[in-house]
Amino acid sequence: MADGTGGRETIMATREIAAHEIHAHAAPQGFIRKWVFSLDHKVIGLQYYFLALTAVFVGMFLSLLMRIHLIWPNVPLPLLGEIKPETYLSLLTMHGTIMVFFVLTTAPQGGFGNYFLPIQIGAADMAFPVLNMLSFWITFLGYIVMLSAFFVVGGAPLHGWTGYPPLSALPTAGPGEGAGADLWVISIALFCVGALMSALNFITTTLDMRARGMSMMRMPLTCWAWFITAILGLLAFGVLFSAGILLLLDRNAGTSFFVPLVVVNGQLAAHKGGSPLLWQHLFWFFGHPEVYIAILPAMGLCSQLVSVFSRKPIFGYKAMVYAMLSIGFLGFMVWGHHMFMSGMSPYTAFAFSVMTMAIGVPSAIKTFNWLGTLWGGRIRLYSPMLFAIGFVSLFVSGGISGPFLAQPVLDIPLHDTYFVTGHFHLIMGVASIFGIFAATYYWFPKMFGRMMSESLARWHFWFTLIGTYAIFMPMHYLGMAGATRRYSQFTELAYLRDLIPLQKFITYAAIVTIAGQFIFLFNLFWSMKYGKKAGDNPWEATTLEWTTATPPPHDNFAGRTPTVYNGPYEYSVPGAPRDYVMQNDPTTVAAH
Amino acid sequence: MPPHPNDGDDFGSPFFDVRLRRARLGLVVGLTGIVMIFISFSSAYVVRQGLPTLDPRTNVLLHDWFPVPLPRLMLINTAVLLISTITMELARRHAARKVALGELAAVPGVSVNAEEKVSWLALTVVLGLSFLAGQWLVWRDLAASGFYVSTSPSSSFVYLLTGMHGVHLFGGVVALLTAGVGSLLHRRADSQSIVLDVTGWYWHFMALLWVYILCLLEFVH
Amino acid sequence: MGLVLLLVIWLITFVSAYFFMAKTWWLPTGASAAAAGIDHHFTTTYILMGIVFVAAQVLLGLFAWKYRDRAAAAPARYSHGNNTLEIAWTVLTLILFVGLNLMSSSIWASERFRPAEPGALQVEVTGMQFAWYFRYAGADGKFGATKPELIDPSAGGESAIGLDTADPASKDDVVTGTMYAPVNREVEVILRAHDVIHSFFVPAMRFKQDAVPGLAIHMHFTPISTGDYEIACAELCGLGHYKMHGMLKVVSQVEFDKWLTAREAEKQ
């Protein structure tokens, strides 16, 4: 062709257009094919989302019980009775495990990623819909197995979500370390399999199914985030899976991968020669990328939202992409910073700490770029934007405590104290949850055709922003004062007793904040039926999901594959008729 | 190739070459995940070998790694597996040829003999199952010599690595059986070809992985 | 709305910062030789990070309000970024973070790279569910043998650590539930664990180290003021983790010798 595009490209393009015009997917019929064993990525995304929704309320309930026990250790609770120290630790273990796996690794990626990645890149579905369906049901099975640990003899395990052996390897080391611990490991192994399958789908889809004109550097940052998260998952979950197999063997087959010669309660255990540190290395090799898996989708979404709601392109798109890639890459080289006090070589510790300080740099760059996007914008403070701004605030707060812990010398007083708990809750827990809330408020109109109530959303926002700061900021003070983690009560050491008033404050804040989450729950379900009807593009955003019907048809684009002409953040383009230019708009082709 | 509205197993495109490319890409990605599992086991293997722990009786650091003598049968199993990669490759190529010739067969007056004299697919299944049976016999052999999964750290790894490989190879066998059933049910040649292509490369990878495991167990100690 | 957001973000920032600056809850007074250096570096870190924290939050709140959409507002500035700025703040952040880390490396080196001094007092610290035991080698300077088969936690003391009384080196070993140390003398702790991972944490000494089964970890610290210092277990070890505590009593050398002699006498 005269403009230089090759003949082959034209043939390929013509084939694709022809194919999609005839290739409109027939929507499935019947309740089971449509809603249970659906192959439609949108339904699967909703399944993941609602799984995570139940999990987060279970996780919050567990933490509520924990906080109540901490300040009233001897008061029996209605229905549950008195919470014993081992029960507290089981609540703690299951809270962490359920939140990290079935909420933070499920909703942002499996939920929103599944729903919106194909649409945002202009595809009709994920590359492998059957695999996608299987990955959800395996994850669901893992969830059921995890919950079942509460109901077996001995109850749920008490070894923390990190499951360090020998505690997690010896049924005699504590109540719940019998069948409960086996179910915990099996559940995690199932989760790993589901996650690997999902990662396979995300990566193949992103690489091979982008619509014409949707180059990698024109993808919304949400897609980059889901893509990089999937790569992290692909490389990390296999390692956790392996560690889980080894632990299962130590527990049930008499092997000694992780257990040296130990004497529990005067009884010699039938193990010798294993290394507890081997588990820690394997676990944290997975565990550190895992925290980036938990936060990257929210970072991608935050970039999306600050751009849409400031009516400005994201400041430094390329830098944002490189920052996420660096975070992903460096994320595999810092795992030892969880092990500074573990007995690992101090020289190795030093190497890990330098890498860890380095990984703070791309995170800082992203923060500067978010601020740079707000600067000079025309900010519309709708609920998705409130939560995006809240995300930035929480990301800064949670991130600032990182450089303390990254330096081994400062980790000496702070490791295994509430300082760590405050740090990861702010930056991983709450920030990621704000991402989930923001995504819900933002994409609800596209998924359900109605708007969520803005006034209820604002109440939810204030409750949650102020409430979570009230819960987790004081934990830094507790940690500096030496308050150790995973203690079921603070009655035994004098310096811990002195800190009980601050612990009380945290508990009261938690009660109020958790109560506030019911505003969200009500808003979510009420709006599905009674929310104001939404048009196809209520936020006036540019990405491809807003070009299609609300809710999107079975094959996303009603047989018309989009062609992309513009980048994803063309807002307030000088000379354009409106302050936003859709990605598939050929009439206003911006420079990018 | 005429397009068809076949939900779910069309990998998002009616075009065979696109579907094949996509399936192969998926396989490469999936194999990366599996590689990480075996890298983890390998690193645990190396670490465990070199690891002294404190013997609380003598307060001396104890090296307790004694390699397990591997039964001869393992070499025979290896040969079986390597032969099966040849039959697998023949099956894969036959299926691909069937697709290529399929278009020609539609032309009037053209006769294409696309049937194979030997079912390479069936042969691969048989060899694959023989390998797995042979591995089971290796386990029996080890047990007879007193090496159980918990006997020593090195014996634990022998069972672990052969077991995990066996599980993955069995997955490949299941895929082959699915393809076999598909051909009996006269599924379309292009879908069959994609299944056999992906399974074929997976099978070759499993053979390579086995050789790696054998070398690890035999030479790294 | 924008103004409320600014005020809330600024309020949260200033209230949080206030409690850091007022040191309402803070590290306990340092009582070891290393504490001063660690605390000084802690202060450096918290001042630098505090400035970044306040600056970022203030700008966030400010921008959310200042650039809010209203009829009179100018159109948004169409800009895809600024490469010079990106490079600048990348380099500056790298210098800040890596610089901070390198500043602390000499303290880490002196705490962990070098072994204990030759004249240090050796104390074997053993953690088990759910108590700490401390063993002193006695006059012969040698720790007697221990055997796992002899471990009987319910009997306490020597039986709890499985001391082999048949070994002549065991005769002068003193096993106690309270740790004593003389002031101004380096203590070398040899950390062990019987059953699961524990962690020996003495906040006032700025000392923490996991006690791992299968390992005997040598580490050191030097108490520089007398007093009683609580020891907390800092690695989840089971249901009794919250009550696995001990006490470190730092006394004068004279008092320490008296105490040790008294314990040895009790053994006869």
pLDDT digits (tens, 9 = 90+) for B76-107: 999 999 999 999 999 999 999 988 887 777 78
| Residues in B touching C215 (Cβ below 8 Å) | 53-54
d(CA C206, CA C203): 5
Tokens of B146: 């007193």
Peptide bond into A166 cis (omega under 30): yes
Query: What is the least distance, in Å, from the CA of B32 to any CA of chain C?
Result: 32
What pLDDT, on the 0 to 100 scale, is given for residue A78? 80
Pairing mode, strands A267-268 and C121-128: unpaired
Q: Are A360 and A400 in contact (CB under 8 A)?
A: no
- Show the tokens assigned to A201: 């789908």
Q: Suggest the residue from A257, A278, A554, A556 to mutate for an interface test with chain B (most B CBs closer than 10 A).
A: A257
Which of A142-146, A202-206, A587-591 is predicted with the least confidence, judged by mean pLDDT? A587-591
**B144 in any annotated domain:** yes
Residue B211 domain-assigned (yes or no): yes
C119: closest CA of chain A, how far (Å): 23
Preceding peptide of A241 cis, ω within 30°: no
pLDDT for the residue numbered A13: 53
CATH class of A39-274: mainly alpha
- Residue C246 CB burial class (10 angstroms; 0-12, 13-18, ≥19): buried
Nearest to C203 by CA among C15, C17, C42, C3: C42
pLDDT attached to residue A181: 97
Number of compact structural domains in chain B? 1
Express each pLDDT in A198-257 by its tens digit: 999 999 999 999 999 999 999 999 999 999 999 999 999 999 999 999 999 999 999 999
Check CB contact under 8 Å for C215 and B53: yes
The lowest-confidence range among A156-170, A432-446, B46-60, C237-251 is B46-60
Residue C29 DSSP code: P
Containing structural domain, residue B213: 14-219
Sheet with C198-202: strands ordered across: C179-182, C245-251, C227-233, C198-202, C207-211
Distance from CA of C215 to the nearest CA of B (A): 6
Tokens of A551: 């809710």
The CA distances from residue C165 to A271, C176, C200, in Å, are: 26, 16, 26
Q: Is residue B7 situated within a structural domain?
A: no
pLDDT, tens digit, for every residue of C30-79?
Answer: 999 999 999 999 999 999 999 999 999 999 999 999 999 998 888 899 99
Among C126, C146, C170, the residue to mutate for chain B (most B Cβ within 10 A): C146
Interatomic CA distance for residues B68 and B156, integer angstroms: 10
CATH assignment of A287-530? 1.20.210.10
Q: Does B113 touch chain C (CB under 8 A)?
A: no
Of A374, A406, A572, the CB nearest to C101: A406
First to last CA, chain A: 23
Q: Is B153 on the interface with A (CB under 8 A)?
A: yes
Query: Interface partners of B (3+ CB pairs, < 8 Å)?
Result: A, C
CB contact under 8 A, B57 and C216: no
pTM listed for this prediction: 0.95
CA distance B151 to A256: 10
- Is residue A18 over pLDDT 70? no
Residue B3, domain member (yes or no): no
**Res. A21: pLDDT tops 60:** no
Q: Which residues contact A580 (CB under 8 A, 6 or more apart)?
A: A311, A540, A541, A542, A570, A571, A572
Q: Are B57 and C148 an interchain contact pair (Cβ–Cβ within 8 Å)?
A: yes
Query: Domain-by-domain residue ranges, chain A?
Result: 39-274, 287-530
Query: According to the model, what pLDDT value does residue A99 have?
Result: 98
Query: Mutate which of C239, C243, C244 to test chain A, going by most A C-beta atoms within 10 A?
Result: C239
CA distance linking residue A225 with residue A229, whole number of Å? 6
CA–CA separation, C162 and C149 (whole Å) = 7
Q: What percent of chain A has pLDDT over 70?
A: 95
The CATH code of the domain that includes B21 is 1.20.120.80
Specify the pLDDT at position A93: 98
Share of chain A above pLDDT 90, in %: 89
Q: Map residue A230 onto helix, strand or coil.
A: helix
C147 touches chain B (CB under 8 A): yes
Integer angstrom CA distances of residue B12 from A126, A243, A560: 7, 35, 14
The values of phi and psi at residue A568, to 5°, are -85, -5
Q: Flag if B54 and C214 touch (Cβ within 8 Å).
A: yes
What pLDDT was estimated at residue C156?
82
Exposed/middle/buried for B143, CB within 10 Å: 0-12, 13-18, 19+?
middle
Q: From the CA of B184, how many Å to the nearest CA of chain A?
A: 22
What pLDDT score was predicted for residue A582?
Answer: 96
In this predicted structure, what is the pLDDT of residue B63?
A: 82
Q: Report ipTM for this prediction.
A: 0.96
Interface test with A, best of C100, C114, C210, C245 (most A CBs within 10 A): C210
* B1 neighbors B20 (Cβ within 8 angstroms): no
Distance CA A233, CA C50 (A): 33
Distance of CA C247 to the CA centre of its chain: 15
Q: How far is CA A82 from CA A58, A79, A86, A88, in A?
A: 19, 9, 11, 10
Residues whose CB is less than 8 angstroms from the CB of residue A585 and which lie 6 or more positions away in sequence, other chains included = A565, A566
pLDDT in tens, A241-267: 999 999 999 999 999 999 999 999 889
Q: A362: nearest CA in chain C?
A: C90
Average pLDDT of span A92-103: 98
Quote the CA–CA distance of A12 and A125 in Å, as a whole number.
20
